[in-house]
Structure 1
């Protein structure tokens, strides 16, 4: 049995405060992702159905690179997820600020569907995924992070992409910066049919 660590303790046998162990070398490596606290804390998420301060309403006014926009259509656009589940995680979003799938016009629904197809084509060309998760989290209770503005997720998947990191370490490992991913997918985006 080993004796208690006494680093920082003022009397022999006294244990140090837990914060004093921060930075003490051990067998673990750590991936710090402090930028995730912005998402966890809800910063930038609309608190009501109001259009002001909606990130999906503001993104189209930015440049493609600054807004992480992959493609723009007449009624919808494709954008990289700022907090991706996997590399290349796209969202197809109507420009119009609506919360419910049933509010889409037939033209918006058709272009949203077309953009999902084009997302798959571009992601296959850029990153060769083995499969996809495609879906809409409808409403807060349904898991929508930004429930006030409808958006559909297109998540590329590879065998073994769900390793121990997200499960045990609550950390996602992304091998590429978002701006580099956006450029690759935008370059692979298919021409309008």
Structure 2
């Protein structure tokens, strides 16, 4: 059996298994409050949504559109919040297309832990660029990814494509 080593994933694995601390907050709310968008990987903000790189991406260019208000489900979000999120999603797809030239995208929200949500309490949508021959969705299921660039490089490429 061949193996691909991805030691950077250990940070995620260890954090996922750690018990929540009393001071643990929502990662998205914490990012919004941080004051340094680049450090926390926020690419864009609008009144009701924001675009952030996934810290543990399935592919280069994997971003998330997050509703700014702390709500956990589509049912809790207002139509204005969902509208902002869809506009942000469209801008993200355009930027990813310009920066990476993918052949397609996976776009979706995992609603609830049983559906695969890693961050259950704050509504967000994943946008994962896809290329012909990229092993389909196996990296998502097999938990192994090989990424050709760092998050800093991805941030810079998408930020430029968004017109910053």
- TM-score range (shorter-chain normalised) is 0.7 to 0.9
The residue aligned with 2:40 is 67
Contact 1:46 1:53 in 2 (8 A): no
In structure 2, do the counterparts of structure 1 residues 166 and 156 end up closer, same or farther at CA, with 3 Å as the change threshold?
A: closer
Work out whether residues 51 and 57 of structure 1, in 8 Å CA contact, stay in contact via their aligned partners in 2: no
For 1:178, the equivalent position in structure 2 comes to 151
Identify the structure with bigger relative contact order (alpha carbons < 8 Å, sequence gap 6+): 2
Residues 45 and 146 in structure 1, CA contact (< 8 A), matched pair in contact too:
no
Whether 1:121 aligns to 2:94 is yes
Secondary structure at 2:134 match in 1? coil
Query: Which residue of structure 2 aligns with residue 56 of structure 1?
Result: 28
Alignment partners' CA distance in 2, 1:149 and 1:80: 15
- 33-42 or 131-140, larger mean C-alpha shift: 33-42
* 5+ residue gaps, structure 2: none
RMSD: 2.7
Residues in 1 aligned to 2:48 and 2:148: alpha-carbon distance in whole angstroms: 32
Give 1:117 deviation, angstroms. 0.6
| CA–CA distance in structure 2, aligned partners of residues 172 and 123 of structure 1 | 19
For 2:18 and 2:33, the matched residues in 1 are separated by 17
Structure 2 CA distance for aligned equivalents of residues 93 and 103 of structure 1: 13
More helix by share: 2
Equivalenced residue count is: 160
- Displacement over 2 Å in runs of 4+: 28-35, 40-47
Bigger shift: residues 140-149 or 181-190: 181-190
Quote the offset at 1:39 in angstroms. 1.7
Q: Is 1:131 the equivalent of 2:104?
A: yes
Displacement of 1:61 after TM fit? 2.5
Distance in 1 separating the partners of 2:45 and 2:27: 16
**C-alpha distance in 2 between matches for 1:80 and 1:174:** 14
